[in-house]
Amino acid sequence: MSELYDVTIIGGGTTGLYTAFYSGMRELKTKVIEYQQHTGGKVSFFYPEKRIYDVGGFLGVTGDELVQNVEDQARFVDPEIVTGEKIVSIDKQEDGTFVLTNDAGQKHHSKTVIVASGMGTFEMEPLNVGDRASYDDYIHYTIQRKEQYNRKKVAIVSDSRVGIDWALALEGIAEAVELINRGADFKGTSEQDLESLRAADVRVHLSSKVETLEGEGKLQQLKLENGEVMEADDVLVYEGLHIDKSMYAEWGLDTEKGRIPVEPDMRANIDGIFVAGDAAVYNGKTMLIASGFNEAMAAVNSAAKYLNPKAAPQVYSTVIYKNR
């Protein structure tokens, strides 16, 4: 971790990953630090199965497809990607470099920092079953790459529209889909959502809770509180989330309603720190994925100029990769 990077990006969502790609394209030594155990950010959690229409060049790309494409694009330039770490402090040293410390006390070193961590970190509400630790590999809090459930028996635990969306997305892919709702109805749904669910090949269990998970060496079945037992290879869970406020102020950054005010070059109030995506706020800001990509390029270009005032103001992929 003592290795010094040109650019360290905090946040591995779609904006952070695209930032890593463009940084690598500028031949900057790049690291990405993501709080969750996997990259993809809010897109992978909240609408992996939804179609997104505001990203140029894609007429209705699903969130899952977009995340996969941006991940592949980032890895094309081979950045260091670290997951499962929360940055709790950023300290600028006398030599102008930064030390980023995670919640385990480990330190990362970088010449510049680009904040792409949105409005803060979030934790999914865990499945409320005592023996869940034994089956962690089979419990998922995002659908991520629905093809992984091909011909599997999937139980979805959710009392909201998210669970319905997941169930409909897996119908026809999974061998069987069971939707378990601890309540008597689903939150945030429309009549159209409910009609789609009723027409689907999905078994719905209302006012039901999972009591135990069972299986030898792997998940094989789960038992409801009413005594009903159902076979299951995997469990998908969405029963709410906890959002932690951003730590931007603690890092010494100016904030405005939880976000970081920036100049047109995406520069924050501390020299050497830049911002992209939902973390940034400025006049005319739009909260779109496509906006984050543009801000990512601006932040990287500014970081490159900060590192070397003689650096080109921007680079062109058609020139750099003309022989690939």
* Binding region: 15, 34, 42, 47, 87, 122, 278, 318
Q: Which two tokens stand for residue 183?
A: 């309540």
The identity of residue 224, as a single letter, is L
Please state the residue numbers annotated as binding site for FAD. Answer: 15, 34, 42, 47, 87, 122, 278, 318
The rounded distance, in Å, linking the Cα atoms of 38 and 36 is: 5
CB 87 within 8 A of CB 68: no
The identity of residue 238, as a single letter, is Y
CB-based contacts of 133: which residues, under 8 Å, 6+ apart?
Answer: none
The rounded distance, in Å, linking the Cα atoms of 54 and 320 is: 27
CB-based contacts of 197: which residues, under 8 Å, 6+ apart?
Answer: 164, 167, 168, 179, 204
Give Rg (Cα) of the chain.
Answer: 22
CB atoms within 10 A of CB 14: 30
CA angle 15, 18, 21 (to 5 degrees): 155
